[in-house]
Chains A and B, each alone.
Chain A
Amino acid sequence: MAVAELLAKFPRERTWLLPALQAVQRAERYLSPEALEAVAAHLRVPKSEVWGVASHYPELRLAPPGTRVVRVCTGVSCKLRGGGELLAACERRLGLRAGQTTADGAVTLEAMDCAFACAVAPVVEIDHACHGRVTPRALDALLAARPAAHAAAATPGVAPPSRPTTGSPAARFAALRREAERRRTGARLAVGLGTCGRAVGARETFEALRLEVKRRGLPFAVVAAGCNGMCWAQPVVEVLRDGRPRLTTGPVAAAEVPRLLNALAANPAAAPDVGGDWLARQRRVLLERCGLADPADIADAIRHGTYATLVNALEDARPERVIEEVRAAGLAGRGGAYFRTAVKWAACREAKGAPKYLVVNGEEGEPGIFKDRHLMEGDPHRLLEATLLTAYAAGATRAILYIHGEADLSAERLQVAVAQAGEWGLLGERILGSDFSLDVELRRGAGGFVLGEETALLESIEGYRAMPRTRPPFPVESGLWGKPTVINNVETLCAVPSIVAEGGAWFASLGGGGGTKLFGLSGHVRRPGIVEVPLGTTLRALLDDLGGGSSTGRPLRAAVLGGPSGSAVPARQFDEPLVPRGPVNPGTGGVVALDEGVAVQDVVRTLLAFNTRESCGKCTPCREGTARLLRMLDGPIERERVSALAGVIQIASLCGLGQAAPLAVLSALAEFPEEFELS
């Protein structure tokens, strides 16, 4: 499609700058000066501003890449499992350095900071397809293979029902529920088709299962589900039969499908269950339906109980009560700052100005954590119900789901969910006949860790470079386009339906006043994946009981907690409870285990290098300071100078990301001084 034609879809307003650039790049693979000028002219944004935005977001390309783009993840989790060797092997094989393109324009090789599939590390991405657990030996086959043409997963029977147009919200929803029940299938085989599963052959397993079930005429529906958190066992098949306990098997490669079906036919108990114990050690609230529900079928979501809490709230017609439950739950922001959620909502509700906005922060961009992706991929309707409840409580009438630019699967599944919810009358004007209306729009990020910072994200939606704003005013008073705006992280929101359904006190009781928290385990553990436990759990419980202990046989010496903004926690602190503002802060929940063979100094250097690259460039301490600090790690370390500079960055930086940028280095210097050459 010609650029002009692409652009004609967008109103001539600056807010469409990023979506327009993304659309052009999808069509032309990069942003040529001519295309940028066309975007500028159409949106009436000055050319230099367009250049400023295009050169700011890492995913936007100003030069054409090779026909194939090979990206090797060199994040900490992948490096621990051989990512560095993979990159070197790619460089040898292609005769390129990372960042270069072959002379014939055939291949571009790049190193990436994180593919957010840390639990199937090491990861190589070829033309947007992610491959996990890659060995240098497997690399040749991957590079030689032509791009596999995976048809977009067929959406099962989700034709919209005839929408009831009279009656109370509950009465109308009852009709929808009857319709959902009518569409119920019998026994199901749910395949873990999350990003992690797809990276290790789950699509092939799914196809094989579908064909084999059909060939044998078995009474199973084969469902493309998300990951249940057991990334370590992917491809996972959940066997769900009425009246029988859930059976979780994995890994099931495509070739093993006949054997699995034979076993199920011969003796239902014969197929080994790998999940029972691992699942039982968790307290799964948010993850409850991940891996079981069909993310592409709203009827299945409704059968699993989704939207029932919203309907009750609409019937109740007291939005303040929703806020009260969330307050009682002690729910605090799971993006890592743990700010009390109810306080934001109440402030937005009381703020003057219309319309009010809800921004769902799905810009999960911190290397080493991939929990929000699991929630969005595995149970998108939970997030939508949460979005509805939150908007209802905070008085918002417009919601923007802002999804990380590389979380394609999350975005696809949410797109489908939003479309279906609209068709079923659960979004839009006067939902289920109530006074409550909500418009939902999906936007994508374009890279940049700083986008996780809420005001930078607002700038991005408005069409500017992602640079944090000064505060006050806070977004709840003056956010998107100066209107009251609530911004919540995906995980935070996903707790809301259960809190409202079961009561705030119940949720609080799960985690000593804080509820449950998702953690992403990766690095040197036997069972990397996503787990959900009460806040206050220890790293020891996460790493040993759920992570299965060290994967290398060598003891674990430390864990990186909270990614590049977090710290290196030594083993002696593994028994500290993980509580916000406690001695060991859980942050976003990324846990990367390091065994005794790991040089912590290398790890924190990787993290600081990331923070330096990802500094948005707005404020001096972070922009200049991180670069200087990184250079100080090159030679013998003058501890005084390092702490003085780190202190300036921590105290003087404008936003939380700058303030946290030196933390990992400082923690390593404090806990592992023997690793550094001190002067």
Chain B
Amino acid sequence: MKLTIDGCLVELAEGATVLDGVNRLAIPLPQLCKDPDRAPLGACRTCLVHVEGQRGLSAACHLPAREGMVVSTAHPDAVRVRRGVLDLTLSMLTPAKGEFGALGDAAARHGLGEPGFAPLHRFDVDASKSFFVLDREACILCGRCTVACDEVQQIGAIALLGRGHTTRVGVFGDGPMAASVCTSCGQCVATCPTGALSTKEAPEKIVRRVETTCPYCGVGCGLVVPVREDGRLALMADDVPSNKSSLGTLCVKGRFGTGFVHSPDRITHPMVRRDGRWVRTSWDEALATAAAGLAKHRGRFGALASAKATNEDGYAIQKFCRVVMQTNDVDHCTRLCHSPSVEAMLACMGSGATSNSYQDYAEAGCLMVVGADASANHPVIAIRFRRAVSRGARLIVVNPKRVDLCDQADLWLQPRPGTDVALFNAMARVILDEDLANLAFVRTRTAGFEDWRASLRPFTLEYAERMTGVRASDIAQAARWYARPPFAGSCLIWGMGITQHTNGIHNAHALLNLSLVAGQMGFPGSGISPLRGQNNVQGCGDAGCIPTNLPGYQTYAPDTLAKF
């Protein structure tokens, strides 16, 4: 569809707003409450434009673009009223508090100097958080931060409080932010248009922005790291809305945790030990020294790979060990955290990885989260869980330890550590006994069903209650919800609470059998997923940095080796 804005023709897709057109044409128009990645709020009223044939003015942010529309941002009425609104907005702020970001720019463009009125309210700065401050004397109550906190991050630490001109951004009980459930994800700081929420770092010119993937957990959030003129990374990273894993969200680690690259403890030059002391040296000498040492130990050597390195790094180190150093002693942290899941999934499913995508969590009708504290360890995944709950999904938490997710849970099962197999087998029995099994799925997709069914015989609810300490009725309820979610499918998600046991593989097997008997696999909103703690533990395992497997999970066994 085509419309004219300030005399320029612009073509927009169906569903676009007039503001989209204005921005496409790069016409400067204030839009203080509009986060480019979120739905319009219509609160700041600073994007008013004139539309030919319409009475009054319209806010461009929520005005649908229509074919043939003739829009003017420069119409005298529009400029006059925008100026009036900007003056009211500016009058909320204490003038000495800085430039006020986008508001300051807009006010200058509208020829506003001194605000027309004195502020109605005074506030103290809330500097209780580690990385940023909230200065209400620079706040225009646009509501972007509270949307970021409640709707985007599904945390709800801050909200709009009160009413009328005494409205303010704050936390439960009007206390300091540090007293709230704020996780310092910084989503609010990133969206604030005036700097009322700003980092504790002195402003510095940004010369470069580098898009990358977060170096922490296995979620894979998109990150843009701003590089300052002095070469250091800025305190706060940007999110990447187009990233399918994080959808523009981040947690405190990704947002504020990249400063480690400037740690003085890092080794940034090659070094050798001379006379018991580490001294700086040249690359040539370093490489020669290392090569000499390695050659001496060929055959009597082991390497630990890093689950934070790339697939290519993982491949190279295992190759180096096996071919150059002539040893199979290569391993990495998966031994403890992820390989029990991989072993069980390989045996049971033929694939050692997650069966679904994060999208399925948000679409699921039931989420069963076992031995994982996603709010702490995979915060961006926990957002999807909370979003599912707010859409009406059942949330079952299985964890001996109370985790934050219990607050949102419909059911919290608290088994004694080490009794997981009994718990899940009892759930499987409920599913079979109450005819909740997906027998068509079992018949067409599984093998060995009858043997397995027979093996469940001892796992009555009474037995499981005695073993696990979980009430029989809760076990049964969990089984029913998992097998028959209120809508869509069920996702089974687990973490280290399952794998870090001597019987970790058995735990994982019990879970996988549960998903198979219920047929909760292979359609939207269903599936199985182990949550991984390191950002590339999956890739490091895939590359073969483990004694049992060569790259691609080829077994380390004579018949495989014979191929080489």
Residues of A within 8 A of B (CB): 12-14, 33, 36-37, 40-41, 44-52, 55-56, 58, 448, 465, 469-472, 612-621, 623-628, 644-645, 647-648, 651-654
Contact = CB atoms under 8 A, between A and B. Distances in A.
A150 to B, nearest CB: 33
Q: Nearest 5 CB-CB pairs, A to B?
A: A46-B156, A617-B167, A648-B84, A52-B159, A470-B42
A55 B160 CA distance: 9
A623 B164 CA distance: 5
A40 B408 CA distance: 10
A236 B24 CA distance: 68
A472 B64 contact: yes
Interface stretch (B168-176, B264-272, B350-358, B552-560): B168-176
Contact of B157 (A12, A46, A628): A46
Contacts of A619: 42-45
Interface in B66-122: 77, 81, 84-85, 88-89, 91-92, 117, 120
B173 A33 contact: yes
A441 B537 CA distance: 53
Contacts of B174: 51
Nearest to B86: A620
**Chain A's interface: helix, strand, loop or mixed, by majority?**
helix
Contact of A615 (B62, B88, B165): B165
A645 B407 CA distance: 47
B150 A46 contact: yes
Contacts of B64: 472
Nearest to B174: A51
Given A49-B156, A52-B146, 7 more contacts: A33-B173, A44-B390, A48-B172, A465-B163, A472-B62, A612-B165, A620-B43
Contacts of A621: 45, 84-85, 88
Contact of A48 (B141, B159, B167): B159
Contacts of A469: 42
Q: Which of A47, A613, A616 has the most CB of B within 10 A?
A: A47
B405 to A, nearest CB: 11
Nearest to B410: A12
Nearest to A617: B167
A44 B408 contact: yes
Q: Which of B44, B117, B158, B161 has the most CB of A within 10 A?
A: B161
Contact of B45 (A58, A617, A654): A654
Contacts of B156: 45-49
A12 B486 CA distance: 15
Interface in B36-56: 40-46, 48, 56
Nearest to B32: A620
A465 B59 CA distance: 22
Contacts of A58: 163
A56 B162 contact: yes
B170 to A, nearest CB: 7
Contacts of A645: 84
Contacts of B57: 651-652
Interface string B107-146: 0000000000100100000000000000000001101001
Contacts of A620: 43-46, 85, 88-89, 92, 140-141
A36 B174 CA distance: 13
Nearest to B63: A472
A13 B390 CA distance: 8
Contacts of B1: none
B310 interface: no
Interface of B: 40-46, 48, 56-57, 59, 61-62, 64, 77, 81, 84-85, 88-89, 91-92, 117, 120, 140-141, 143, 146, 150, 155-167, 170-174, 180-181, 389-390, 392, 407-408, 410
A613 B171 contact: no
A465 B89 contact: no
Contacts of B141: 617, 620, 623
Contacts of A36: 172
A52 B166 CA distance: 12
Nearest to B120: A627
Nearest to B56: A651
A56 B150 contact: no
Contacts of B56: 651
B91 A624 contact: yes
A618 B33 CA distance: 11
Contact of B407 (A13, A44, A465, A624): A44
Nearest to B62: A470
Contacts of A648: 81, 84-85, 88
Contacts of B140: 620
A609 to B, nearest CB: 11
A635 to B, nearest CB: 14
A36 B160 CA distance: 16
A47 B92 CA distance: 27
A471 to B, nearest CB: 7
Contacts of B159: 46, 48-49, 51-52
Q: Which of B89, B156, B171, B180 has the most CB of A within 10 A?
A: B156
B309 to A, nearest CB: 38
Nearest to B159: A52
Given A46-B157, A55-B163, A621-B45, A14 B173 contact: no
B173 A624 contact: no
A616 B62 CA distance: 20
Contact of B164 (A50, A52, A616): A616
A650 to B, nearest CB: 8
A59 to B, nearest CB: 12
A48 B157 contact: yes
A12 B84 CA distance: 44
Contact of B155 (A41, A46, A448): A46
A314 to B, nearest CB: 32
A55 B161 contact: yes
